[in-house]
Structure 1
């Protein structure tokens, strides 16, 4: 007779010993290249899930699930989870971990073995059409947090809200309003899609390996993009140009975008704005208005 399968643990979430045991069995050492820092504290991931307001009817996208710390906490709510994992070893192991620790949730997990930057649509849960996620909840890899976030907001229009854990400095940038010291390209581009608010700070000791910086949560609530005849790409081109030389006025910073400083000044003036302002003073609606007045031959 085959041995009876081991009973699931009383607490399905992963503690420090569980994380190290799993990593050792898989031959995994967290790498800076993939921005891997695994959460080893069950209380932290349950706090993230509570703060995100995840409920049983939700379909949640998680990026970089790693060994499954946050994944298990999300599944614990009854939600369905689409986990996008670039590391093939971790992607293959995640369903086994869920089956062993939270077996009743195994059918509610869909693992996508891919780089999140390459995902254009999500596969389907068995017997359904392509997954249409409501929420993004993730401990985003440190080195690609902003591009991953912006890419998913662009490509997954059903995402209505999100809660992401990022470096505290990145959280400040994402949530910064115009005119603040930390306002810049990430702030302006995120504002095209959503309203961002910085939430709780997460201490570095809940991670393995321990990073050199603290992390923070950023809450996102999607809204309609600005009403404009300019495309998102055209507006983002203005944002990039305005912050490429942060200390310069719009008239100077947008000279390459418009073809000359004079034409840049005229475009900004036509948008109803002062060309002597710097980009850090403008909101996403202002950038959209400038994009509408780019010279046709620029």
Structure 2
């Protein structure tokens, strides 16, 4: 696989860009594990973020899915055209578009999938520098995906999956788990990529669930979460009171005590469920 990809890159005069965070996944075994984790067939419409050389694109299409692959780097266009033009059975199921995934209309793609009577998935070996922005865009915008499976930096995956708090958790942990069940699937070693990144990677999957609060309460709840983590070394009561969002230090300490939590608790000691309970207590006064 590596020799084939290197030849294609050379033929199309593509030098991988560090600035764009390009690390192509080459390990065939890992690619097949990703495809199996997706479990897609002809009943799925998949948007792939970061198509690169198109090797995951091809695997997903071979499984029967319709794949809309996004690639920021226009230099890959000729490579895609030459490879998939010769792949008669796959070409009708694969569409490429070239641009920034952060500007892509995922909601429109979900509507297209629905029109076709297919389930909607998002997958990608994404540039690590856009992970938080991409997940936030898709999750917070209520894009109705059935499954989202992303290969990302291991530490970011740990943070996103931290539903129950802990040192890895942050405001984004609470917010993403508010909308989704997040599961870490498996780690991917550096040697699986070309060129190898400086960090370890992890495959993480997201599945939507019903949010625990109605839309008109979410902004106030997220403001509480953001305030709590704004100064994570401080006690949660001090951090929240300092933001001036309507909750005083004593109110927060009292609510924490009623929940059986120490008034000196820090934000990382609470998970999604504890934050929801704290929010309910503070707004029942």
Given the two structures, how large is their TM-score scaled by the length of structure 2?
Answer: 0.84
Contact conserved, 1:64 with 1:86, CA < 8 A, in 2? yes
Contact conserved, 1:229 with 1:292, CA < 8 A, in 2? no
Q: Tell me which residue corresponds to 1:280.
A: 268
1:239 Cα deviation (Å)? 2.3
CA distance in 2, matches of 1:82, 1:169: 28
Contact conserved, 1:86 with 1:116, CA < 8 A, in 2? yes
For the pair 1:249 / 2:242, whether they are aligned, the reply is: no
CA distance in 2, matches of 1:27, 1:265: 64
Contact conserved, 1:201 with 1:214, CA < 8 A, in 2? yes
Assess, with a 3 A threshold, how the Cα gap between structure 1 residues 46 and 293 changes in structure 2: closer, same or farther.
same
1:148 Cα deviation (Å)? 0.8
1:81 Cα deviation (Å)? 1.0
Assess, with a 3 A threshold, how the Cα gap between structure 1 residues 21 and 237 changes in structure 2: closer, same or farther.
farther
1:292 Cα deviation (Å)? 6.9
Match of 2:190 among 204, 211, 218: 204
CA distance in 1, matches of 2:220, 2:41: 37
* 1:179-200 deviations in Å (ceiling 9; x for gaps): 3221223321220221111111
For the pair 1:35 / 2:21, whether they are aligned, the reply is: yes
Q: Tell me which residue corresponds to 1:149.
A: 135
1:91 Cα deviation (Å)? 4.6
Q: Tell me which residue corresponds to 2:9.
A: 23
1:258 alignment partner, SS class: coil
Match of 1:117 among 102, 108, 112: 102
Cα root mean square deviation, aligned: 3.1
Assess, with a 3 A threshold, how the Cα gap between structure 1 residues 25 and 185 changes in structure 2: closer, same or farther.
farther
CA distance in 2, matches of 1:223, 1:85: 29
Assess, with a 3 A threshold, how the Cα gap between structure 1 residues 254 and 95 changes in structure 2: closer, same or farther.
farther
1:290 Cα deviation (Å)? 5.4
CA distance in 2, matches of 1:268, 1:160: 39
1:130 Cα deviation (Å)? 8.7
CA distance in 1, matches of 2:170, 2:227: 11
1:200 alignment partner, SS class: strand
Contact conserved, 1:257 with 1:264, CA < 8 A, in 2? no
For the pair 1:106 / 2:91, whether they are aligned, the reply is: yes
CA distance in 2, matches of 1:131, 1:62: 19
Contact conserved, 1:45 with 1:70, CA < 8 A, in 2? yes
Assess, with a 3 A threshold, how the Cα gap between structure 1 residues 34 and 185 changes in structure 2: closer, same or farther.
farther
Assess, with a 3 A threshold, how the Cα gap between structure 1 residues 188 and 134 changes in structure 2: closer, same or farther.
same
Q: Which runs of 5+ in 1 are unaligned?
A: 1-14
Assess, with a 3 A threshold, how the Cα gap between structure 1 residues 60 and 21 changes in structure 2: closer, same or farther.
same
Assess, with a 3 A threshold, how the Cα gap between structure 1 residues 285 and 23 changes in structure 2: closer, same or farther.
same
Q: Tell me which residue corresponds to 2:62.
A: 76
Structure 1 stretches of 4+ moved >6 Å: 292-295
For the pair 1:44 / 2:30, whether they are aligned, the reply is: yes
Match of 2:171 among 185, 188, 200: 185
CA distance in 2, matches of 1:134, 1:265: 46
